[in-house]
Amino acid sequence: MDKVDYKKEWKELYKASAKKLSIVTVPPLQYLMIDGSGNPNNSIEFQNAVEALFSVSYTLKFMVKKTLEIDYGVMPLEGLWWSDDMNNFSSENKENWKWTLMIMQPKYITSALLTTAIEKVRQDKGLSVLDKIRFNTYDEGMAAQVLHIGPFSEEGPTVERLHTFITDNGYQMNGTHHEIYLSDTRRGDPKNWKTIIRQPIVLGRGD
């Protein structure tokens, strides 16, 4: 049986440094996605979306292992975050946040496999949020990223450092704030949580 470690295969995308900021080029990748809004700290919708994405992703993993004899690790949860008014996008105003939660899927996951997996999860857990899952390609392109170590509430200085790095190197932000959650937040001390902070960029116009 073939075994694949996509975090190693895409090492530059899923292994960042807390000390050294970097620029990566993210190719088009396919994801399971669920869109939502509101404060993630007290949103049942958010919690249900996380459960649904992982449940379907693990079901797909076991289906592939059985039918294609390929074993792979389920990829980490990722989140795109924004607000309709980005001037109002701050940790003090989480009720206005909008988000897309997503988990990257291997190339051999098809819409047909996904439909079967969703029905399996529906029978087992009956999650209504399963109807919100979409299967899309996300083409992020060039981006700057850095590793944040610690609780989400302390990301501010890391984000500011990333934004400064972008402008100091002649780039402009272009796209949605992106986070990749490498730690299981149900376990361990929040001070040790690891999150990749990523921001899509383009070369500055040189004005």
Average pLDDT over residues 185-195: 87
Examine the domain organization and report whether 64 and 117 are in the same domain: yes
Contact present, 5 and 61 (Cβ < 8 Å): no
Whether 117 is covered by a domain: the verdict is yes
Which CATH number characterizes residue 90's domain?
A: 3.20.80.10
In this prediction the pTM is 0.92
> pLDDT class for 60, splitting at 50, 70, 90?
very high
* 170 and 125 together in one domain: no
Q: Is residue 119 part of a domain?
A: yes
Boundary residue ending a domain (110, 138, 166): 138
Q: Which of 178, 109, 172 is nearest to 138 (CA)?
A: 178
44 and 103 in a common domain = yes
- Answer yes or no: is pLDDT of 133 > 50: yes
Q: Which helix (H) or strand (E) holds 61?
A: helix 44-67
List C-alpha distances in Å: 71 to 4, 11, 112, 182.
6, 18, 19, 20
- For residue 66, pLDDT over 50 is answered with yes
What is the rounded CA–CA span in Å between residue 57 and residue 128? 16
Last residue of a domain, one of 89, 105, 138: 138
Asked which of 138, 171, 186 is the last residue of a domain, the reply is 138
Closest CA to 200 of 155, 145, 157, 147: 145
Model pLDDT for residues 139-177, shown as the tens digit of each residue: 999 999 999 999 988 998 999 999 999 999 999 999 899
pLDDT score at 90? 54
| Residue 46 in tokens | 């958010």
pLDDT digits (tens, 9 = 90+) for 74-119: 999 999 998 876 555 555 566 778 999 999 999 999 999 999 999 9
pLDDT confidence of residue 205:
62
Which pLDDT band, with edges at 50, 70 and 90, does 40 fall under? confident
State yes or no: pLDDT of 186 exceeds 50: yes
If one counts the domains in the chain, the total is 2
CA 169 vs CA 16, 23, 73, 163, 206: distances in Å: 18, 10, 35, 10, 11
User: Does one domain contain both 156 and 126?
Assistant: no
Same structural domain, 39 and 113: yes
Q: What is the pLDDT of residue 89?
A: 55
